[in-house]
Amino acid sequence: MHTVTRTISAVPLAIAMSIGAGSATAQEDARLFFGRDDRVFVTPADMPWSAVGKLVFDSGSHCSGALVSQRVVLTAAHCFYRNMEGTAPLFEMPSGFRAGHHKEGASAEAEIVSFWIPPGYDADRRDGATMDNGRDYAFVLLDQPIGGEANYFDVHTVTEGELNLAAARGWDDINQAGYSGDYEDQLTAHMGCEITGYTDLNIIRHMCDIVPGDSGSPLFIERDGGYEIVAVNSAIYFGPRPYNIAVDSRAFAGDLERYINRYDPTR
């Protein structure tokens, strides 16, 4: 898949504040939201919203992420790199994670102990192929088991058959939630959004309404009374027919299971 992408990575506060609800033109809104902004505000007091959080950086940037065990957060790999004008992207370690972040409060929060990015991702980033190869995901290990307070998602490994059903609008409802750059202190969600296609590189195309700041946010389904992540948001494509890009769970489910078993086996 050869496309021109715009990343939705960590957003500096100055930029986040400059792209408020009324700042985009009607034409830009139509392209960004496929004609209409279907996001709604949700209060992250209970599942699934309490397990979505804000990954914060000392620079003032942020990404979104989701708890997938007591101490492990799933997010996007490109969140760890800030684009600097005229220079190579700068690596930046996140300083904390705020589950269920809402204005001045949070369901729970913790500091960062370590992280894991798929082998080969850095080379892909330098080659400009990070959004096309299914490696734009990362795991973050927290210093506290806050999943006991905020709860956490399971991960469902999607099959090709399920993705075909989803693209035909015949599968479970797809939901997305994250900390959009224009409302970074309030969780927004798009419920019942659409997967439009997928590739054999573990990439799905979707039409959930996302903006910068939503990188690393989960796409998830509700099943048997629980909530299961099926993909993690990666990029926005502004081609002739815009769509959004996410890495689906075929790419990361196995790596995540091994990571949790090693670092958070008491989940």
d(CA 42, CA 49): 7
Chain segment 136-161, per-residue pLDDT in tens: 999 999 999 999 999 999 999 999 99
CA distance 255 to 117: 10
Please give the pLDDT value at position 37: 85
241 domain residue, yes or no: yes
Kindly state the greatest CA–CA separation across the chain.
Answer: 50
The sign of the dihedral angle between the CA atoms of 162, 163, 164, 170 is positive
CA distances to 108, 251, 258 from 187, rounded to whole Å, are 15, 26, 30
Q: What is the mean pLDDT of residues 115-123?
A: 89
* 2 belongs to a structural domain: no
Contact 263, 141 (CB under 8 A): yes
DSSP 178-221: E--GGGTTS-EEEEEE-EEEE-TTSEEEE-----TT-TTPEEEE
Residue-number span of the structural domain to which 114 is assigned: 10-263
On the question of pLDDT at 252 being above 80, the answer is yes
Rounded CA-CA distance 264/267 in Å is: 6
In a domain, 150, yes or no: yes
pLDDT-derived band at 211 (thresholds 50, 70, 90) equals confident
Q: Give the per-residue pLDDT at 104.
A: 83
Among 117, 178, 108, residue whose Cα is nearest residue 145: 108
Q: Is the pLDDT of residue 23 over 50?
A: no
Kindly report the CATH number assigned to the domain that includes residue 195. 2.40.10.10
Q: Is 163 buried (19+), middle (13-18) or exposed (0-12) by CB count in 10 A?
A: buried
Whether pLDDT at 20 is above 90: no
Nearest to 15 by CA among 181, 178, 180, 179: 181
Q: What is the dihedral of CA 51, 56, 61, 63, to 10 degrees?
A: -30
Q: What are phi and psi of 31, to 5 degrees?
A: -75, -40
* Residue 59: inside a domain: yes
Specify the number of domains making up the chain.
Answer: 1
Higher pLDDT, 24 or 184: 184
Task: Name residue 110's amino acid.
Answer: A
Q: Is residue 133 part of a domain?
A: yes
Confidence of residue 120 (pLDDT cuts 50, 70, 90): confident
* pLDDT digit string, tens, across residues 26-81: 445 555 677 788 899 999 999 999 999 999 998 888 999 999 999 999 999 999 98
CA atoms within 13 A on the CB side of 80: 21
Q: Stretch 109-132: mean pLDDT, rounded?
A: 85
Q: Is residue 5 part of a domain?
A: no
- Of the pLDDT bands very low, low, confident and very high (cuts 50, 70, 90), residue 22 is very low
Give the model confidence (pLDDT) of 220-234 as tens digits. Answer: 999 989 999 999 999
Residue 254 backbone zone (phi > 0: left; psi -120 to 50: alpha; other: beta): alpha
The pLDDT assigned to 17 comes to 20
Indicate the pairing of strand 226-237 with strand 154-155. Answer: parallel
Residue 1 lies in a domain: no
% the chain with pLDDT above 90: 63
How confident is the prediction for the chain on average, in pLDDT?
A: 85
Q: What is the pLDDT of residue 243?
A: 82
Tell me, yes or no, whether 46 lies in a domain.
yes
**Residue 38: per-residue pLDDT:** 87
Q: Give the model's pLDDT for residue 6.
A: 44
